[in-house]
Amino acid sequence: MKNQKKFIGIGTFLLEGADTYTCVSSALTTGYRLVDTASVYENEREVGKAIEDSGISRESIFVSTKLFAKRKGYKETIEECKESLKRLGLSYLDIYFIHWMPRTYEDLLDTWRGMEYLYENGYCKAIGVCNITLYYLDKLLKDAKIPPMFCQIEVHPFLQQEVFIEYCRANHIEVIGYGLFAKGLVFENETLKVLAQKHHTTVANLILSWALKKGIIPLVKSKSVNRIKTNFTDNFEMSAELFSDIRNLNDGLRVYRDPENNPYV
């Protein structure tokens, strides 16, 4: 079986200082090549150091970071991206994201112009938005000179985001999913426990394989070096029947903020 796990990204939310360095270093040694951070996580320096010390060539690693939610507009977006690059010790990003939609659509557009500048001037190889509603994504696609190439959103068995993902697929936008373990709730779910047992795998592996089968790029974070390893190396072939069993768990539960009630808007 093709090891699709190579597409999984390591997340760094809630990792501080030395933990960030250890986790990103272990992930890179294990084989992860996508590393996700954000200026608000306050760990870009440690992420950059782990990348530098890994000895892996820059072109082989995919790095994403995000514009702080309270900064917006053309000028601040460009400034903040340059600050992130400095903290990371990198000359370019692979993806630069808007972390949260600003207060108004006009602010979003002005911010997007900054993102377009950064892309056109080689500061990042791709630009994207996190936590955007379908309504604003659709508007942005119509008004942007350069369309978003990636969207990062909450996805897990209880929030399967089928309509959003389908829209992105139709518009050539790659979806990166976060919160795949629903802040740990998946490990308490009886159906998932029974399914994992029946298929001789773990709930974590079941979910990551499900996400890959959905055609999204899953991000996972762990403080445990052992989990970082098994999340990437455990293999599992997801059958269509099992995929459909997991589909039945979709009930719209959110464990992160709902972009429809975005506190920054």
Ligand X SMILES: NC(=O)c1ccc[n+]([C@@H]2O[C@H](COP(=O)([O-])OP(=O)(O)OC[C@H]3O[C@@H](n4cnc5c(N)ncnc54)[C@H](OP(=O)(O)O)[C@@H]3O)[C@@H](O)[C@H]2O)c1
**Min CB(175)–ligand X separation in Å:** 12
Torsion of CA 189, 208, 88, 27, to 10 degrees: 100
**Of 75 and 220, which CB lies nearer to ligand X in the complex structure?**
220
Size of the site for ligand X (CB under 6 A): 26
Helices (H), the chain: 17-30, 44-54, 73-88, 105-120, 134-143, 162-170, 190-198, 203-214, 225-233, 240-247
**Of 172 and 183, which CB lies nearer to ligand X in the complex structure?**
183
Q: Is 155 left (phi over 0), alpha (psi -120 to 50) or beta?
A: beta
Q: Is 210 in the site for ligand X (CB under 6 A)?
A: no
| Residue 41 bears catalytic tag | yes
Q: Which of 32, 41, 96, 123 is catalytic?
A: 41
Tokens of 152: 């990062």
Considering only residues 169, 198, 223, 247, which one is a binding residue for ligand X as defined by CB under 6 A?
223
Measured CA to CA, the distance from residue 206 to residue 234 in angstroms comes to 10
Binders in 157-186 for ligand X, by CB under 6 A: 178-181, 183-184
Q: Over the range 155-191, which residues count as b (16 or more CB within 10 Å of their CB) and which as e?
A: bbbbbbbeebbebbeeeebbbbbbbbbbeeebeebee
CB within 8 Å of 168: residues ≥ 6 apart: 151, 174, 175
Q: Single out the segment in contact with ligand X by CB under 6 A; choices: 9-17, 24-32, 102-110, 164-172.
A: 9-17
Considering only residues 49, 193, 213, 227, which one is a binding residue for ligand X as defined by CB under 6 A?
227
Q: Is 263 in the site for ligand X (CB under 6 A)?
A: no
Considering only residues 115, 140, 220, 242, which one is a binding residue for ligand X as defined by CB under 6 A?
220
Enumerate binding residues for ligand X (CB under 6 A).
11-13, 36, 99, 130-131, 152, 178-181, 183-184, 187, 204, 219-224, 227, 230-231, 256
Give catalytic residue positions.
Answer: 41
